[in-house]
Amino acid sequence: MDFDFNDEQQLLVSSLQGLFHNYAEIPPAGRGETSWFSADLQRRLVQGGFFDTARQVGTLEAAIVVMEAARLPVVVETGASALVAPMLLDEPLEGPVALLSGDLSKAQRLLPVAKTALVDLGDDVVVLEVEPADVEPVETMLAYPYGRFRTPPDLAKGRRLGAGAVEPLRQWSRVALAAECAGAAQSAVEFTVAYVKDRKAFGQPIGSFQAVQHRLAQCHQIMRALRYNVLHAAWTREPVRADMAAAYAQMHIQKLVFDLHQFNGAIGLTTEHKLHYWTFRLRALQPEAGGGDASALAVADKLWGAAA
């Protein structure tokens, strides 16, 4: 067991950070928006071959791609393209890829920018081309673009992957959402720690108060746990580890968002303050893949058998 990145993994992180360096701020055109999708960075990730990482290097390395991207304030779609699609299909999908499930008349995450959708039908998975004209963007405080189909999509036009694709789709969707949570949580915690060192009240930095320190220490612990849960789930490729990583992430989102917003105060509710790019990404991921209770239930099913 070795918790340090090897040379190849370190090189991957360095490459990503080099690429992401220019995307650490929301461009002027996006200031004040609740989210900003960077088509430019999405293209660069494709061109750089980062979405081939799972196939060519490994799933742990693909999870690193997702985590690092989720640390940015700008949005790119990495979870489905880097982790889910490569574990379901031999050939790459045209991205961005939206992961759809449930009631397709409702707004779905990333649908307004998606070229392809992977649709979980319960007993099958459909690969569906997405026509931008068919999608109506919806306004949201969540930090991803959301949109809904103007008319119900014709699933018959999609390619069916078969019942055997359902469980892998759910497994890697959970790893992907946990990886995005890990990256977003890391940035949100780091941002808040820097803020409480700077922001003064009662004549001293608010980060000097034990009431603040203890809650931030707990957030730091959660963030660290998220990271290793994800990497472990990606490395072992065991379905129950994916469920555990997602369950742990989703059950702690409420605490993370509460504490981190609490210490940023009202300024954290402005879209000029960057916190919301990460905290409302976490909020968006909270109900994904059925939500935290479904993830925990999946853990129970796998560890102790399904309910009688």
Partner 1 sequence: MEFAWTPEQDAYRQTLKDTVEELLPDNWATEIAPHSYGSKEQIAYSKIFCAEMAERGLLVQQWPAEYGGGDGDAWQQWILAEEMMLVGEPRGPQYMNVNWIGPAIMRSGTPEQKAEHLGRIAGGQVIWCQGFSEPGGGSDLAGMKTKAERQADGGYLVNGSKIWTSYSPSADYCFLLARTGEQRKAISIFLIPMNLKGIEIQTYPGLVGKGHLNQVFFTDVAVPDSMRMGEEGQAWEIITYALRFERVSVARFHIGRKVLDRAVAQLQREGRFNDTAVRVRAGRIAAMLEAGRLLSYYVIDQRAKQGSDDVNGNIARVSVSQATQELQAFIMDYTPDALTGGDYVLREFFRANLSSTIAAGAYEIQLNLIAQGALNLPRNG
User: Using the rule CB under 8 A, which residue among 46, 57, 155, 235 binds partner 1?
Assistant: 235
Per CB under 8 A, 217 contacts partner 1: yes
The position carrying tokens 């102790």 is 304
Helical (H) or strand (E) element with 108: strand 108-109
Task: Give pairs for 171-174: CB < 8 Å, separation 24+.
Answer: 171/87, 171/239, 171/242, 171/243, 172/83, 172/84, 172/87, 172/88, 172/242, 173/79, 173/80, 173/84, 173/99, 173/120, 173/288, 173/289, 174/233, 174/242, 174/243, 174/245, 174/246, 174/289, 174/295, 174/298
**Residue number, 89 or 300, with CB nearest to partner 1:** 300
Span from 32-40, 86-94, 134-142, 296-304 in contact with partner 1 (CB under 8 A):
296-304
Per CB under 8 A, 221 contacts partner 1: yes
Minimum CB separation of residue 302 from partner 1 in Å reads 9
**Residue number, 243 or 288, with CB nearest to partner 1:** 243
Contact flags string 4-33 toward partner 1, x per CB under 8 A: xxx--x------------------------
Size, binding site for partner 1 by CB under 8 A: 54
Q: Is 304 helix (H, G, I), strand (E, B) or coil?
A: helix
Per CB under 8 A, 199 contacts partner 1: no
Span from 78-86, 131-139, 167-175, 217-225 in contact with partner 1 (CB under 8 A):
217-225
**Positions that interact with partner 1 (CB under 8 A):** 1-6, 9, 60, 193, 196-197, 203-205, 207-210, 212-214, 216-218, 220-221, 224-225, 228-229, 231-232, 235-236, 241, 243-245, 247-248, 251, 292-293, 295-301, 303-304, 307-308
